């Protein structure tokens, strides 16, 4: 980690940067979810739990107004 912070070991730093960015994004989104009202959180959770397994139906599901609104707020 110190090599990453000092800018050494460029190839390893690319991987660490990717992992660190993903972890921070997940933490940020989790914090965002905590700030939602209970109703907004439950409706978003219900939609995410109901994502279809068939690839052809996923796009239609993800364009649902609740998900679109959630992404715009985020």
Q: Would you write out the chain's pLDDT as a tens digit for each of its 74 residues?
A: 677 667 777 677 788 888 999 999 999 999 999 999 999 999 989 988 988 888 888 888 888 898 888 889 99
Look-up of token digits 């000092």: 6
Tell me how far apart the terminal alpha carbons of the chain are, to the nearest angstrom. 29
How many other CB atoms are found less than 10 A from the CB of residue 70?
Answer: 19
What local confidence, expressed as pLDDT, does residue 4 receive? 65
**HSE-CB of 20 using CA atoms within 13 angstroms:** 9
């Amino acid at each position: 980690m110190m090599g990453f912070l000092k800018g050494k070991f460029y190839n390893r730093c690319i991987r660490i940067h990717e992992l660190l960015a993903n972890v921070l994004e997940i933490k940020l989104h989790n914090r965002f979810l905590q700030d939602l009202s209970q109703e907004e959180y439950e409706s978003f959770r219900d939609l995410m739990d109901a994502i279809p397994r068939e690839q052809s139906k996923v796009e239609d599901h993800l364009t649902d107004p609740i998900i679109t609104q959630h992404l715009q707020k985020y």
